[in-house]
Amino acid sequence: MFTFQKAIKIAIAKEGSDLAVNPDHAVEKSYGWVIFPNSREFIETGDQDEMLIGSGGVLVLKDSGKAIQFSSAFSVEKNLEIYESGYLDHDNWDIVITRVFDARDAVDQILALGATYVIPEVESGITWRIAKTYTRNRLKELVRRPPVRLNIGQIYFNYDLIVALKQQDSFEYLIEPNQGYENTP
């Protein structure tokens, strides 16, 4: 079990050197602390000009000391919700469409997730792996023959879309950690 003081050291090491923490701003949960390292100058003086921007904090788990860096794209509450949902346990996820009831709506929702595929191209001895977005027509073909597995990568920025999928009735699906599957055209 890690102490709060050790968690502060871990968070500072994760964010960079010459930082400090105001312990009063940490958020404690049963499983860990969200700690917000900032410039030493800002912590000591409160001078807004010295404040670092762009960090959503670092969650340090009490049982392991594992540090999870949050983005500033979401509030602390939203970051913790995403963590608690388990979607930060893996960096790469698949959606497996097992049954389709409304192909048109299913395609719209899958397009929103931004699933892409790659066709490696070699030019001048360099292999280029440029992601290409599925077309509506290709997704229509795919959802006609479930099960369909599509790699959707990280869920962090698509979290609200994943939550919304739970409310839809166009298709049944599973969200699974990716085990090496790569999307094909």
* pTM summary value: 0.85
**pLDDT at residue 17 above 80?**
no
Whether residues 76 and 105 fall in one domain: no
Mean pLDDT of all residues in 9-22? 90
What's the whole-number mean pLDDT along residues 16-30?
Answer: 92
Task: Examine the fold and report which residue of 85, 116, 135 is the final residue of a domain before the chain moves on.
Answer: 85
Q: What percent of the chain has pLDDT over 70?
A: 100
> Would you state the pLDDT for residue 54?
81
In a domain, 183, yes or no: no
Q: Is residue 182 part of a domain?
A: no
Range of the domain at 23: 4-85
**By the 8 A CB rule, do 49 and 39 touch?**
no
Are 78 and 112 found together in one domain?
Answer: no
Which of 85, 105, 125 terminates a domain? The answer is 85
Residue with tokens 């000591």: 44
Indicate whether 40 and 64 sit together in one domain.
yes
Question: Are residues 136 and 69 located together in one domain of the fold?
Answer: no
Q: Is the pLDDT of residue 97 over 90?
A: yes
Same domain, residue pair 103 and 172: yes
pLDDT digits (tens, 9 = 90+) for 149-160: 999 999 999 999
pLDDT band at residue 118 using 50, 70 and 90 as cut-offs: confident
φ and ψ of 76, to 5 deg: -60, -45
Token pair of 147 as six digits: 């099960």
State which of 85, 120, 147 marks the end of a domain. 85
* pLDDT tens digits, one per residue of 82-94: 999 999 999 999 9
Q: What are phi and psi of 167, to 5 degrees?
A: -95, -15
Looking only at the bridges linking them, the beta strands covering 93-100 and 148-153 are antiparallel
Q: How many domains does the chain have?
A: 2
